[in-house]
Amino acid sequence: MIAIIDYDAGNLTSVARALTHLGYKNQITSAAETILTADRVIFPGVGAAKATMQTLQKRGLNQVLTDFHRTGKPMLGICIGIQILFEHSEEEDAECLGLLSGRVKKYPMVGVGSPNPYKVPQIGWNEVYQTRAHAIFEGVPNPAHFYFVNSYYPEPASEDIMIGKTQYGLEFCSAIAQDNLIATQFHLEKSGRVGLKMLNNFLNF
């Protein structure tokens, strides 16, 4: 069973529908026992880092996610789910889970005053370039287009965990992998065929 972390965020049902479409039993849940006994965990959603962390802490899910990570079972973060894995976010000066070394930074207003300024938040399709081979990318073209909605981006302390990068005014890390932990800044559940392919790869990881 796949546990989808319920922390009052949007977009959880989109992930559940994608998993059901792929043929996998899943449950949106905040119950510690259900999460810890799941085969895999997915932490998706949209939202602000500080509000997300406050909800996780209120429900004790910050410790549950840390405990699940320690089991070695596969764990996937999507969008805000990649950002809260790091130590700190510039968004409202939020302290995050700290499962990964690094921080989350706000996009600069690159190109303001120019004919084609980059808008923040980034909303829409953008290319992801694979920086190293990983099972999550099996059968996925390099590069491939995925759907983004974000004003902030992760900056790992080490590039060794980066497996995908994207250009949006600057080059940033858009996918990471470290041991049992995989995360993307882009929305797999909204990215059509390639997004579903990556979700299926994770579910077989």
Burial of 165 (0-12, 13-18, 19+ CB in 10 A): middle
pLDDT at 184: 98
CB atoms within 10 A of CB 201: 18
Q: Where are the domains of the chain?
A: 2-203
pTM of the model: 0.95
Active site residue 96: no
Output the CA torsion 80→185→180→75 (10° steps): 40
pLDDT at 50: 94
Active site residue 92: no
Of 1, 7, 8, 20, the C-alpha closest to 189 is 20
| Options 33, 69, 79, 138, the catalytic residue | 79
Distances in Å between the Cα of 127 and the Cα atoms of 22, 110, 122, 132, 172 are 24, 18, 12, 15, 12
* N residues, the chain: 205
Question: CATH number of 2-203: 3.40.50.300, 3.20.20.120, 3.40.50.880, 3.30.1280.10?
Answer: 3.40.50.880
Burial of 156 (0-12, 13-18, 19+ CB in 10 A): middle
Positions in the chain whose pLDDT score sits under 50? none
pLDDT tens digits along 165-200: 999 989 999 999 999 999 999 999 999 999 999 999
Maximum Cα interatomic distance, the chain, rounded to a whole number of Å:
53
